[in-house]
Amino acid sequence: MTATFPIHELRVFSYAAAIAGGLLLWILEGLAPRFSKQGHRGRHARLNLSMAGINLLILVPSGMLMAATLEWSQGIWPGIGVLRLPPWAEGILIILLIDLWMYLWHRINHEWDFLWRFHAVHHSDATLDVTTSWRFHYIEILISELLRLPLFMLMGAGIEHLLLYSLFMTPVIEFHHSNVAIPPALDRLVRIVVPSPMMHRLHHSRIRSEHDANYGSMLSVWDRLFGSFLAREELDGLRIGLDHESDADRQRLPALLLRPFRA
């Protein structure tokens, strides 16, 4: 896989796909929103991008450490390499396992109260759009990075697998958070393979039984396999966010950063 997709090119493609996909969806949301247009789109984007910028202070050095550690670990532990699969099959299997981990990680963030304190910052956004896909508390990002490194080492993943997964996964996450109008039939078709905007919008409902569903990141198959898939075709009256957490005074950067530490 590395011979076909050099690391440098994968990294460039991954970053370019995230930036171009996010920008395109943000423009389309303004031109053709599925739900009512939000006011102050720029202010909302600045808040969410500010949180993303803080997270980059963790993700950039973590990515460098992960690349070096995975290169070292591949020299002493083959991981899935013991199966002696063709490189393309090994790559697909590793990417599927990474996506399964993302599903499980997302689910335990809802089920474990300690982790929910941080993940709730993401769910407190009362205006769901593409920028919500970048809005996470920095402690959630830090814990995620610490947990996934040993798992990826156990799999025998290389940095090329993570970059290739990111290349596919990031645009999907941006898409299913977006407020772009697409035909209902297309939404139903899309959700057979990946989480669709309507499928994921239900995940951001204020109703606990609805936001504790539809955890998939890149693929929707995990929700179907593990019984967490939920669908409603009519979401026009759906309330997004969290009760008492989505008020304007709590949707400022200092309040969001401090939110998990409040009693």
Q: 3-state SS string over 133-165?
A: HHCCCHHHHHHHHHHHHHHHHHHCCCHHHHHHH
Per-residue pLDDT at 5: 58
What is the pTM assigned to this prediction? 0.93
Q: Which DSSP category does 37 fall into?
A: P
Structural contact between residues 2 and 160, judged by C-beta atoms closer than 8 angstroms: yes
Bridge partners for 180 per DSSP: 33
Per-residue pLDDT at 3: 42
Closest CA to 219 of 198, 196, 186, 241: 196
Name the H helices within 33-112: 41-74, 87-111
Structural contact between residues 195 and 220, judged by C-beta atoms closer than 8 angstroms: yes
Taking every pair of C-alpha atoms in the chain, what is the biggest distance, in angstroms?
Answer: 56
CA dist 118 and 148 (Å) reads 17
pLDDT beneath 70: ranges in the chain: 1-5, 37, 39, 263
